[in-house]
Amino acid sequence: MTIPTPTVTRTWTCVLFDLDGTLTDSASGITSSLASTFETLGLPVPSPAQLVEYVGPPLLDSLQAFAGLDEEEARKALTVYRADYHEKGAFDSAVFPGIRGLLSRLHEAGIPLAVATSKPELQATRILEHFDLAKYFDVIAGATEDESRSAKSDVVADALRRLTEQGVDLAHTVMVGDRAFDVEGATENGLPTILVEWGYGSPAEAAGAIAIVHSTDQLSSLLLG
């Protein structure tokens, strides 16, 4: 992503973060578990580049769109994937450099924070607790186990609902993510998006974002001034 980054001078009252590709470099664990899933089901294993395309969108949708599975087949594959990922892939990831310090500074500044991810909520919480990041977030919102809530717009809406219940000021809320799905999900809820360059998106996915950042220092300056 190389489009110019505009100066954002707004004081934010709340920040929502995507998880995979934004807070954590999780592609290795996800793609490994996906490859194992395809092998277990006797299906052709996509190339490494193709597997990365699965990182970000709701997996049930991706299994149908990219692998050509029908819904029943996709749900079976999802069950196999989740079992493998829970045991092997979940912690095969790392917190991106600078993220921990950024979250700490935002927390110390008194800015409410939330996670909005298409990953199952229980799994997202487990991962954030493992990396000692859960303590920074007022809300961790994710997909339901049955995927009835998995679209990014629905997850963002759920995060906003729960923040509202906590009395959080949402007047100036921003989404931070790495994929077009983050931009679209935020836009459908009336939120602007800042995209991070270190994630799994492409330059084409930057359309609609108010800024693109290439470092956590740059992101910090946009969020904290």
- Among all residues, which ones are annotated catalytic? 18
Phi, psi of 52 (to 5 degrees): -65, -30
Alpha helices (H) along the chain: 27-40, 48-52, 59-65, 71-84, 99-108, 121-130, 152-165, 180-187, 216-224
Tokens of 165: 């219940």
Tokens of 99: 């993220």
CA dist 32 and 96 (Å) reads: 19
Query: What is the chain's alpha carbon radius of gyration, rounded to the nearest angstrom?
Result: 17
Residue with tokens 């490994």: 32
By the 8 A CB rule, do 210 and 5 touch? Answer: no
